[in-house]
Amino acid sequence: MERINHHPILKNFKKRKSVAFFFNNDEFVGYEGEAVSSALIANGIKEFAIHQKNDIPKGIFCANGQCSHCTVIIDGFPQKSCVTSLEEGMHIQTLHHLPELPEDDHPLEHYEKNELNCEILIIGGGPSGLTAAIELAKLNFSIILVDDKEELGGKLLLQTHKFFGSIKDCYAGTRGIDIGHTLEEEVKSFTNIRILTSSSVVGVYKDQKVGVFIKNKKYALIKFDGIVVSAGAREKSLIFPGNGLLGVYGAGAFQTLVNRDLVKSSDRIFIVGSGNVGLIAAYHALQAGITPVGICDILDRASGYQVHADKIKRMGVPIHLNHTVLSADGNGKVERVTIAEVDDNYQPILETAKTFEVDTLLIAVGLSPVDEFYDTANNYGFKVIKAGDAMEIAEASSAMFGGRIAGLQMANLLGKDIKIDPEYYEKAEVLKSRPGKVWDLDEVKLNQKFQPIIRCYEEIPCNPCTSVCPVNAIELKSVHKNIMDIPEYSNNCTGCGLCVAICPGLAITLAKQIDDKFAEVVIPFEYNPDFEKGDKIPLTDRDGIFLEDGEVVKVKMLKKYKTHLITVKTTLKNGAKAAGIIIQKESDSKALPKPDYDYVPEDGIVCRCEMITVKEILDYIKEHNVRDINQLKQIRVGMGACGGKTCYDLLPRIFKMAGVEWKDVTKGSIRPLSVEVPMFAIINESEEDIR
Do 262 and 345 belong together in one domain? Answer: yes
Tell me the mean pLDDT per 10 residues along the chain, length 691. Answer: 88 80 97 96 96 93 90 92 95 94 73 91 97 98 96 94 92 94 97 97 96 92 98 94 95 96 96 96 96 98 96 97 97 96 96 97 95 95 96 90 95 94 91 94 92 96 95 95 95 94 97 97 96 97 97 96 97 97 96 90 91 95 96 93 87 94 91 78 68 50
How far apart, in whole angstroms, are the C-alpha atoms of residue 287 and residue 273? 20
Are 413 and 390 in contact by the 8 Å Cβ rule? The answer is no
* All residues at 6 or more sequence positions from 322 whose CB lies less than 8 Å from its CB, including other chains: 297, 298, 299, 300, 341, 342
Domain count for the chain = 5
Do 346 and 380 belong together in one domain? Answer: no
Are 479 and 531 in contact by the 8 Å Cβ rule? The answer is no
Do 20 and 86 belong together in one domain? Answer: yes
Q: How many helices (DSSP H) and strands (DSSP E) are in the chain?
A: 16, 38
Confidence at residue 689, expressed as pLDDT on a 0 to 100 scale? 57
Final residue of a domain: which of 322, 348, 365? 365
Are 283 and 313 in contact by the 8 Å Cβ rule? The answer is no
Point out which residues pair with 580 in neighbouring strands: 540
Are 437 and 484 in contact by the 8 Å Cβ rule? The answer is no
Final residue of a domain: which of 50, 83, 106? 106
Please state the three-class secondary structure of 598-647 as a single string: CCCHHHCEEECCCCEEHHHHHHHHHHHCCCEHHHHHHHCCCCCCCCCCCH
Do 165 and 207 belong together in one domain? Answer: yes
Determine the residue type at 225: D
Are 156 and 183 in contact by the 8 Å Cβ rule? The answer is yes
Do 93 and 121 belong together in one domain? Answer: no
CA angle 274/279/282 to nearest 5° reads 125
DSSP label at residue 509:
E
Asked if the structure places residue 590 within a domain, the reply is no
How far apart, in whole angstroms, are the C-alpha atoms of residue 502 and residue 335? 38
Asked if the structure places residue 72 within a domain, the reply is yes
Are 60 and 41 in contact by the 8 Å Cβ rule? The answer is yes
Point out which residues pair with 522 in neighbouring strands: 510, 567
Asked if the structure places residue 539 within a domain, the reply is yes
How far apart, in whole angstroms, are the C-alpha atoms of residue 547 and residue 575? 10
Stated as kind and residue range, the H or E segment containing 319 is: strand 319-321
* All residues at 6 or more sequence positions from 86 whose CB lies less than 8 Å from its CB, including other chains: 19, 21, 30, 31, 32, 33, 34, 35, 36, 39
* Nearest by Cα to 155 from 328, 406, 399: 399
The residue segments making up the domain with residue 49 are: 1-106
How far apart, in whole angstroms, are the C-alpha atoms of residue 543 and residue 545? 6
Task: Give 214-217's long-range contacts (Cβ < 8 A, gap of 24+).
Answer: 214/690, 215/85, 216/79, 216/84, 216/85, 216/681, 217/681, 217/686, 217/688
Asked if the structure places residue 684 within a domain, the reply is no
The structure's pTM equals 0.94
CATH assignment at residue 17: 3.10.20.440
Phi then psi for 687, rounded to 5 degrees? Answer: -90, 5
Are 565 and 575 in contact by the 8 Å Cβ rule? The answer is no
Do 628 and 556 belong together in one domain? Answer: no
Do 206 and 353 belong together in one domain? Answer: no
Asked if the structure places residue 549 within a domain, the reply is yes
Q: Concatenated DSSP letters for 481-493?
A: SSTTSPEEE-S--
Do 333 and 269 belong together in one domain? Answer: yes
Asked if the structure places residue 340 within a domain, the reply is yes
Axis crossing angle, helix 127-138 with helix 176-188, rounded to the nearest 10:
30
Phi then psi for 352, rounded to 5 degrees? Answer: -100, 10
Pairing state between β 49-50 and 57-58: antiparallel
Do 456 and 472 belong together in one domain? Answer: yes
- Reduce the DSSP state of residue 18 to 3 states and report it: strand
* Nearest by Cα to 504 from 588, 643, 395: 395
Confidence at residue 14, expressed as pLDDT on a 0 to 100 scale? 64
Do 564 and 459 belong together in one domain? Answer: yes
Do 458 and 579 belong together in one domain? Answer: yes
Burial (0-12, 13-18, 19+ Cβ within 10 Å), 295: buried
How far apart, in whole angstroms, are the C-alpha atoms of residue 254 and residue 258? 6
Asked if the structure places residue 443 within a domain, the reply is no
Confidence at residue 12, expressed as pLDDT on a 0 to 100 scale? 59
Asked if the structure places residue 679 within a domain, the reply is no
* All residues at 6 or more sequence positions from 34 whose CB lies less than 8 Å from its CB, including other chains: 16, 85, 86, 150, 261
Do 305 and 328 belong together in one domain? Answer: yes
* Nearest by Cα to 269 from 295, 293, 241: 293
- Reduce the DSSP state of residue 391 to 3 states and report it: coil
Stated as kind and residue range, the H or E segment containing 520 is: strand 518-525
